[in-house]
Chain A
Amino acid sequence: MGSFPLKYNMLSLYLYILVPHIALKTPRNYGEMEAQALLSWKGSLLNKTRSTLPSWTLSNCSSHCNKTSTPCVWFGISCNDAGKVVKVNVSSLGLEGTLLSFKFSSFPNLDSLDLSSNELHGAIPAHIGNLSQLTYLGLSYSYFSGKIPWEISLLKNLETFLVVQNQLNGSIPVEIGNMKSLKELSFGNNNLSGIVPVSLGNLTGVTILELFETQISGSIPLEIGNMKSLLKLSLNENRLTGSIPTSIGNLTGLTSLYLFGNGLFGSIPQEIGRLKSLTYLSLSENSLVGAIPTSLEMGNMKSLEDLNMGDNHLKGPIPSTFSNLKNISDLVLSYNQLSGTVPEKIGNLRKLSLLQLSNNMLSGHLPQSLCLEGSLVNFTAKENYFTGPFPKGLRNCSTLYRVRLGKNQLTGDISDVFGVYPNLDFMDLSDNNLYGKLSRNWGQCQRLTSLSLSGNNITGPIPPEFGESTNLAVLDLSNNQLVGEISRELMKLKFLNKLNLSRNDLSRLLPSEIGNLSKLNHLGISSNNLSGHIPKQIGSCFKLLSLSLSTNRFHGTIPSQMGDLIFLQILLDLSRNKLMGEIPSGLGRLRFLEKLNVSHNMLSGPIPSSFEEMKSLTSINVSYNQLEGRLPNIAF
């Protein structure tokens, strides 16, 4: 009994001496707590990925190497002056595992946590809300699933929250609207549901809000207009419906606005014109109706570089104020129901690089000054009601890469209207009312891969110089009034896969050099005045899928080498010529051919029994010939 007080006194003595010593030791012990937490998380990760963090280890040394037991020297770890972990960055290390055993409460000083671009999965734990000092949280490009925990909103100092491209589901917690420090919020590319929370309107400090490619639905809340610091708003590719709220016009600092790929309806609010700082605006692929806002202010958006309103149900004119958009580079209005004329001054926009007006109901002339001072690269206005000539400004437009003006009523003499276009890849002027002669300049367009002038009133010959445009893969001059011969020089186009010269007045022979076109898939020269024999060299075009020589004056026999075209599939049409002699039995080798027409010739002899091998035939026409003998057993 008496020794108890003594022991107690000894204990108190011990404590009185030791406690201050323990207190002095606190910084190192804290370091140990953080080190232990990191190590136990590392230990929970998949075996093979742990090896990417070799520095995360406690060394077994004695008192003389105190410092190495803190994690401050580990890879991806930064500490403050007091030796406490403030930053963890293990991005892009291929780490596999979860956050279940990440003891967040061990890091009261953590300011920045970057776990992005790894293969971490599982839920974002609710106790992440313990990181009270956190300003940066990066969880993007991983496989996190489950809901975004509302406890995230406990991170009162959080400025940046990125969780792009994961597998999160559920709704965006409304509590996020309480996170007044937030500046950047990115939830794009997840499988979220629910709506855009109205509470986001309270986040007056947020500059970047990205909710693209989730599956959020409902309307854009008008409270969005309260986010007065917003610079970038991405709500694209979701299931949003309803109208664009007029309050969007309050976001006068906005530089990027992406609403494309939703189900937004109603009109585009006039207030859009108040967004004077806007550089990128896309409203495309929605169900927007009404007219493009004509308010003058729309044209005062001097910073606007990209404007896309394509793929909607917009009506009415292109506002003349668009010619004030001095910095515009990409202007896309295609696939709407716009009418009226294109403001002439749009042609003066020096920086205009992409102009997409196709598939509307526009009329009048194309702006004549297009590209005069400029750098037009891509110009499509197909499927409208445009009249008048090919714009003069395009004559010397050396930046042109892709032009599609087909299916309009453009007219004028094109003999001298085209320059040489060193960068031109694709040119389609088909189905217009153009006349005059083909320009030799096309031969100097060395990058041209596709040229179509089909369906016009072009006369004169096909210049042999066309053969110098050696990258041509598609040449369609069909449905014109071209005369003269198919020159041998044209057969130098060894990359041609589609050649359509049908429905013209071409005459003389089909050159034997046709056999050089070894990549040819489609050859159409029907409805011309071609004569002479079908050259046997045609058998060398072994990649032909479709061949039509119909309605010409070919005479002589069908060359047996036709049977070498074993990949013919779509059509072999030799009808309406003056072919004679027997049908070569080699045609029976065309096992994939679906349609054969040799009608309206002077063919004699039997239908070859080898035709029984043509197992793919769905249609055969041998009528109006002088054939005789038994019908072979062709299975249909």
Chain B
Amino acid sequence: MAAIWTVLLLLLGTLSTPTTANLEGDALFAFRRGLKDPQHVLQSWDPTLVNPCTWFHVTCDKDNRVTRLDLGNAKLSGKLVSELGKLKHLQYLELYRNKLVGVIPKELGGLKSLLSLDLYHNNLTGSIPSSLSKLTNIRFLRLNSNRLTGRIPRQLTKLPNLKNLDVSNNDLCGTIPTSGSFYKFTEKSFENNSRLQGPELMGSVSYDIGFCN
């Protein structure tokens, strides 16, 4: 059965006479191609449709542009693809509680309408891209319970609307920024990162003395 679906997927992706193109649908379908989907939550994702707005778990605005992607708790495995960064009207990227691996693509910094980035409870590795500091509208940034490494990019403190940050349960290092929008976050947002050192004291201790390789 899985073999039949793989063949069908390949056929759908390479249909011989496509007569239209939809960039957002293409980006989402590129995402689908890199995933294993044992519960068939992406079964309705038909790339031959004019736009992805009738695909399940995709929400569009009145101009048929993708605003929400709700795929939390879906037993998905595979990687995040850079094409996801092309969804310029995306407000909610909900991919929590899956088995996603690989890195957070820096292209996600291009999601200029993003309000919520929920990648928590996956198996993501690599560092938090500093490009996420371009997400000027973001309110919720929840990357906890992954295997992220490296420093917390200092530029994230400049995010003016950041309401909720959670990077706990990772393998981050360096020191915890406390400036800008980070002043309101407690230790709970950073706990269980064994190499992450305590919150920086403004003005009295130099930054980034924490060991980070």
Within 8 A of B (CB), among A298-339: 306, 308, 310-311, 332, 334-335
Of A81-89, A148-156, A280-288, A459-467, the stretch lying at the interface with chain B is A280-288
B140 adjacent to A285 (CB under 8 Å): no
Q: A334-B50, A474-B56, A569-B94 are in contact. Are A308 and B163 (CB under 8 A)?
A: no
Neighbour of A635 across the interface among B17, B20, B184, CB < 8 A? B184
Per a CB cutoff under 8 Å, which of B50, B54, B70 touches A521?
Answer: B70
Q: Which secondary structure dominates where chain A touches chain B? A: loop
A152 to chain B, nearest CB (A): 27
Question: How far apart sit A308 and B48, CA to CA, in the bound complex (Å)?
Answer: 14
Contact A306 B19, beta carbon cutoff 8 Å:
yes
- Please tell me which one of the listed residues A285, A426, A497 contacts residue B21 in the complex, with CB atoms under 8 A apart: A285
Q: Who on chain B is nearest to A474 by CB?
A: B56
Query: Does any Cβ of B come within 8 Å of A473's Cβ?
Result: yes
A9 to chain B minimum Cβ distance, whole angstroms, is 74
The number of chain B residues touching the other chain, given as a range, is 10 to 19
Contacts of A280 in B (CB 8 A): 17
> Which size bracket describes the interface of A in this complex?
20 to 34
Cβ of B73 within 8 Å of any chain A Cβ, yes or no, is yes
Nearest residue, chain B, Cβ from A261: B21
Tell me if A284 and B19 are in contact (CB < 8 A). yes
**What distance in Å separates the Cβ of B47 from its nearest Cβ neighbour in chain A?**
14
Asked whether any CB of chain B lies closer than 8 Å to the CB of A616, the reply is: yes
Q: Which chain A residues border B57 with CB–CB below 8 Å? A: 497, 521
Q: What residues on A are CB-neighbors of B94 within 8 Å?
A: 569
Chain A nearest CB from B89 CB (Å) reads 17
Output the least CB separation between A214 and chain B (Å): 15
Residues of A within 8 A of B44 (CB): 449-450, 473
Q: Within 8 Å CB of B72, what residues of A?
A: 543, 567
List chain A residues, Cβ under 8 A from B56.
449-450, 473-474, 497
Return chain B residues, CB-CB under 8 Å to A311.
20
Residue numbers in A under 8 Å from B184 (CB-CB): 635
Considering the chains assembled together, what is the distance between the CA atoms of A521 and B19 in angstroms? 34
In the bound assembly, the distance between CA atoms of A12 and B108 in angstroms comes to 81
Given known A497-B56, A615-B164, contact A284–B17 (CB-CB < 8 A): no
Q: A260: CB under 8 A from chain B?
A: yes
Residues of B within 8 A of A335 (CB): 50
A473 to B19, CA, bound (A): 29
In the docked arrangement, what's the CA distance between A543 and B164, Å? 21
B19 near A260: Cβ-Cβ < 8 Å = yes
Say yes or no for A128: interface residue by CB 8 A criterion: no
Of residues 235 to 268 in A, which have CB atoms within 8 Å of B's CB atoms?
Answer: 237, 258, 260-261
A426-B54, A473-B56, A616-B164 given as contacts; is B21 within 8 A of A567 (CB)? no
**Residues of chain A in range 566-598 having any CB-CB distance to chain B below 8 Å:** 567, 569, 592
| A356 CB contacts on chain B under 8 angstroms | 50
Judge whether A545 and B21 touch: CB under 8 Å: no
Q: List 8 tightest A-B contacts by C-beta distance, closest first.
A: A282-B19, A308-B19, A615-B164, A284-B20, A260-B19, A284-B19, A261-B21, A473-B56
Q: Which residues from chain B sit less than 8 Å from chain A, CB to CB? A: 17, 19-21, 44, 50, 54, 56-57, 70, 72-73, 94, 118, 139-140, 163-164, 184
* Extra pairs beyond A260-B20, A284-B19 (8, CB < 8 Å): A282-B19, A285-B20, A308-B19, A310-B19, A310-B20, A356-B50, A545-B70, A616-B163
